Chain A
Protein backbone atom coordinates (compact mmCIF):
# COMPACT_ATOMS: atom_id res chain seq x y z
CA UNK A 1 0.00 0.00 0.00
CA UNK A 2 1.13 3.50 -0.69
CA UNK A 3 1.62 5.99 2.11
CA UNK A 4 2.54 9.61 2.45
CA UNK A 5 4.66 11.22 5.14
CA UNK A 6 4.77 14.94 5.71
CA UNK A 7 7.67 16.00 7.88
CA UNK A 8 6.75 18.81 10.21
CA UNK A 9 3.17 19.34 11.31
CA UNK A 10 3.79 23.07 11.61
CA UNK A 11 6.06 25.34 9.59
CA UNK A 12 6.47 29.03 10.34
CA UNK A 13 8.16 31.48 7.99
CA UNK A 14 8.44 35.22 7.68
CA UNK A 15 6.68 37.04 4.90
CA UNK A 16 8.95 37.05 1.85
CA UNK A 17 10.93 34.02 2.99
CA UNK A 18 11.24 30.68 1.23
CA UNK A 19 8.53 28.13 1.90
CA UNK A 20 9.54 24.46 1.98
CA UNK A 21 7.00 21.80 2.90
CA UNK A 22 8.28 18.25 2.86
CA UNK A 23 6.55 15.16 1.53
CA UNK A 24 7.87 11.64 1.12
CA UNK A 25 5.98 8.70 -0.25
CA UNK A 26 6.37 4.98 -0.25
CA UNK A 27 5.40 3.18 -3.41
CA UNK A 28 6.59 0.24 -5.40
CA UNK A 29 5.44 1.81 -8.63
CA UNK A 30 5.60 5.40 -9.90
CA UNK A 31 2.79 7.22 -8.14
CA UNK A 32 0.59 10.12 -8.96
CA UNK A 33 1.35 12.87 -6.43
CA UNK A 34 -0.62 15.92 -5.40
CA UNK A 35 -0.43 18.95 -3.17
CA UNK A 36 -3.64 20.49 -1.83
CA UNK A 37 -4.28 23.59 0.26
CA UNK A 38 -7.09 23.88 2.77
CA UNK A 39 -8.33 27.09 4.34
CA UNK A 40 -10.38 26.93 7.56
CA UNK A 41 -13.76 25.25 7.20
CA UNK A 42 -13.31 24.74 3.49
CA UNK A 43 -12.65 21.86 1.15
CA UNK A 44 -9.37 21.17 -0.58
CA UNK A 45 -7.99 23.12 -3.50
CA UNK A 46 -5.47 21.55 -5.84
CA UNK A 47 -2.15 23.37 -5.96
CA UNK A 48 -0.35 21.07 -8.36
CA UNK A 49 0.08 17.46 -9.38
CA UNK A 50 2.67 15.12 -10.83
CA UNK A 51 1.62 12.31 -13.14
CA UNK A 52 4.29 11.79 -15.78
CA UNK A 53 6.78 13.87 -17.70
CA UNK A 54 8.64 16.84 -16.30
CA UNK A 55 9.62 16.28 -12.70
CA UNK A 56 9.43 19.95 -11.76
CA UNK A 57 5.78 20.86 -11.57
CA UNK A 58 4.50 24.41 -11.32
CA UNK A 59 1.19 25.13 -9.68
CA UNK A 60 -1.03 27.99 -8.71
CA UNK A 61 -0.11 30.88 -6.43
CA UNK A 62 3.59 30.58 -7.22
CA UNK A 63 4.04 27.11 -5.75
CA UNK A 64 6.07 24.37 -7.35
CA UNK A 65 7.17 20.87 -6.44
CA UNK A 66 9.81 18.50 -7.71
CA UNK A 67 9.34 14.77 -8.01
CA UNK A 68 12.57 13.03 -7.02
CA UNK A 69 12.29 9.32 -7.53
CA UNK A 70 15.68 8.59 -5.97
CA UNK A 71 14.59 10.30 -2.77
CA UNK A 72 10.91 9.28 -3.00
CA UNK A 73 10.09 12.90 -2.34
CA UNK A 74 7.73 15.55 -3.64
CA UNK A 75 8.55 18.66 -1.62
CA UNK A 76 6.52 21.83 -2.11
CA UNK A 77 8.28 25.17 -2.40
CA UNK A 78 7.53 28.83 -2.95
CA UNK A 79 10.32 31.41 -3.24
CA UNK A 80 8.57 34.15 -1.30
CA UNK A 81 5.82 33.61 1.24
CA UNK A 82 2.77 35.82 1.35
CA UNK A 83 0.43 36.31 4.27
CA UNK A 84 -2.37 34.74 2.25
CA UNK A 85 -0.37 31.49 2.02
CA UNK A 86 -1.14 30.73 5.65
CA UNK A 87 -3.20 27.53 5.53
CA UNK A 88 -3.05 23.76 5.91
CA UNK A 89 -1.23 21.87 3.17
CA UNK A 90 -1.72 18.22 2.31
CA UNK A 91 0.39 15.95 0.19
CA UNK A 92 -1.53 13.06 -1.38
CA UNK A 93 -0.94 10.00 -3.51
CA UNK A 94 -3.30 8.08 -5.71
CA UNK A 95 -3.79 4.42 -4.98
CA UNK A 96 -5.83 1.95 -6.98
CA UNK A 97 -9.27 2.95 -8.24
CA UNK A 98 -8.45 6.63 -7.75
CA UNK A 99 -8.39 6.08 -4.01
CA UNK A 100 -6.48 9.08 -2.70
CA UNK A 101 -4.47 8.91 0.52
CA UNK A 102 -3.32 11.97 2.38
CA UNK A 103 -0.39 12.90 4.51
CA UNK A 104 -1.01 14.24 7.99
CA UNK A 105 -0.86 17.80 6.81
CA UNK A 106 1.43 20.76 7.50
CA UNK A 107 0.13 24.00 8.92
CA UNK A 108 1.94 26.96 7.40
CA UNK A 109 2.10 30.15 9.42
CA UNK A 110 3.40 33.35 7.83
CA UNK A 111 4.72 36.04 10.14
CA UNK A 112 4.65 39.69 9.13
Chain B
Protein backbone atom coordinates (compact mmCIF):
# COMPACT_ATOMS: atom_id res chain seq x y z
CA UNK B 1 0.00 0.00 0.00
CA UNK B 2 0.88 3.65 -0.20
CA UNK B 3 3.10 5.16 2.47
CA UNK B 4 2.61 8.36 4.40
CA UNK B 5 5.53 9.53 6.49
CA UNK B 6 5.12 11.92 9.38
CA UNK B 7 7.97 13.73 11.09
CA UNK B 8 8.91 14.08 13.87
CA UNK B 9 7.50 11.12 15.79
CA UNK B 10 7.68 13.02 19.00
CA UNK B 11 8.65 16.50 20.08
CA UNK B 12 8.94 18.36 23.35
CA UNK B 13 8.88 22.12 23.26
CA UNK B 14 8.68 25.02 25.64
CA UNK B 15 5.48 26.94 26.07
CA UNK B 16 5.30 29.87 23.67
CA UNK B 17 7.40 28.32 20.92
CA UNK B 18 6.18 27.00 17.58
CA UNK B 19 6.43 23.46 16.30
CA UNK B 20 6.23 22.25 12.71
CA UNK B 21 5.04 18.75 11.81
CA UNK B 22 5.55 17.37 8.32
CA UNK B 23 3.39 14.89 6.47
CA UNK B 24 4.70 13.37 3.25
CA UNK B 25 3.14 10.97 0.78
CA UNK B 26 6.16 8.95 -0.28
CA UNK B 27 4.99 7.11 -3.37
CA UNK B 28 1.90 8.93 -4.54
CA UNK B 29 0.62 12.44 -5.01
CA UNK B 30 -2.02 13.78 -2.70
CA UNK B 31 -3.95 16.91 -3.56
CA UNK B 32 -5.71 16.60 -0.23
CA UNK B 33 -4.34 15.64 3.16
CA UNK B 34 -6.06 15.57 6.50
CA UNK B 35 -4.86 16.52 9.97
CA UNK B 36 -6.28 14.87 13.05
CA UNK B 37 -5.80 15.34 16.75
CA UNK B 38 -6.16 12.56 19.25
CA UNK B 39 -6.38 12.97 23.00
CA UNK B 40 -5.47 10.05 25.27
CA UNK B 41 -7.93 7.20 25.00
CA UNK B 42 -10.11 9.13 22.60
CA UNK B 43 -10.90 8.99 18.93
CA UNK B 44 -9.36 10.99 16.12
CA UNK B 45 -10.88 14.40 15.63
CA UNK B 46 -10.53 16.00 12.24
CA UNK B 47 -8.85 19.39 12.57
CA UNK B 48 -8.52 20.49 8.99
CA UNK B 49 -8.35 19.46 5.39
CA UNK B 50 -5.18 20.53 3.64
CA UNK B 51 -5.55 21.41 -0.03
CA UNK B 52 -2.57 21.66 -2.35
CA UNK B 53 -2.16 25.15 -3.68
CA UNK B 54 -5.02 26.67 -1.72
CA UNK B 55 -6.12 27.46 1.80
CA UNK B 56 -6.86 24.72 4.25
CA UNK B 57 -10.40 24.08 5.39
CA UNK B 58 -10.71 24.07 9.16
CA UNK B 59 -13.29 22.26 11.26
CA UNK B 60 -15.47 24.27 13.55
CA UNK B 61 -13.70 25.21 16.74
CA UNK B 62 -10.18 24.84 15.36
CA UNK B 63 -8.17 28.06 15.43
CA UNK B 64 -6.65 28.55 12.01
CA UNK B 65 -4.20 31.15 13.28
CA UNK B 66 -2.90 28.72 15.86
CA UNK B 67 -2.72 25.67 13.66
CA UNK B 68 -1.15 26.85 10.43
CA UNK B 69 -1.36 24.46 7.53
CA UNK B 70 0.66 24.68 4.36
CA UNK B 71 0.31 22.30 1.44
CA UNK B 72 2.89 23.62 -0.97
CA UNK B 73 3.38 20.49 -3.04
CA UNK B 74 1.52 17.35 -4.00
CA UNK B 75 3.55 15.29 -1.55
CA UNK B 76 3.97 17.53 1.47
CA UNK B 77 1.68 19.16 3.98
CA UNK B 78 2.88 20.84 7.15
CA UNK B 79 1.08 21.68 10.38
CA UNK B 80 2.62 24.39 12.53
CA UNK B 81 1.41 24.77 16.09
CA UNK B 82 2.12 28.40 16.87
CA UNK B 83 2.77 29.73 20.36
CA UNK B 84 2.23 26.30 21.80
CA UNK B 85 0.75 25.87 25.26
CA UNK B 86 0.48 22.80 27.48
CA UNK B 87 -3.14 22.28 26.43
CA UNK B 88 -1.88 21.77 22.86
CA UNK B 89 -0.08 18.63 24.01
CA UNK B 90 -1.61 15.79 22.06
CA UNK B 91 -1.08 13.16 19.39
CA UNK B 92 -1.34 14.60 15.89
CA UNK B 93 -1.92 12.33 12.90
CA UNK B 94 -2.05 13.12 9.21
CA UNK B 95 -3.54 11.12 6.38
CA UNK B 96 -3.65 11.18 2.63
CA UNK B 97 -6.02 9.38 0.32
CA UNK B 98 -5.28 7.31 -2.71
CA UNK B 99 -8.60 6.58 -4.28
CA UNK B 100 -11.02 6.04 -1.43
CA UNK B 101 -8.45 4.53 0.87
CA UNK B 102 -6.79 6.67 3.53
CA UNK B 103 -3.20 6.10 4.55
CA UNK B 104 -2.02 7.43 7.86
CA UNK B 105 1.24 8.78 9.11
CA UNK B 106 2.69 7.25 12.24
CA UNK B 107 1.66 10.24 14.31
CA UNK B 108 3.49 12.93 16.25
CA UNK B 109 3.40 13.10 20.02
CA UNK B 110 3.64 16.75 21.02
CA UNK B 111 4.40 17.64 24.60
CA UNK B 112 4.48 21.30 25.57
CA UNK B 113 6.19 22.06 28.86
Contacts and interface: CB of A to CB of B under 8 A. Distances in A.
B91 A41 contact: yes
Contact of A42 (B34, B41, B103, B107): B107
A51 B101 CA distance: 10
Nearest to B93: A43
Interface residues of B, number: 25
Nearest to A104: B43
A36 B101 CA distance: 11
B41 A107 contact: yes
Interface residues of A, number: 24
A99 B46 contact: yes
Contacts of A45: 104
A46 B101 contact: yes
Given A32-B100, A90-B44, A94-B100, A100 B107 contact: no
B32 interface: yes
Contacts of B101: 46, 49
Contacts of A94: 100
B109 interface: yes
15 contacts: A43-B4, A43-B106, A44-B93, A44-B95, A44-B104, A46-B103, A49-B101, A90-B43, A92-B102, A97-B49, A98-B100, A100-B95, A101-B46, A104-B42, A107-B41
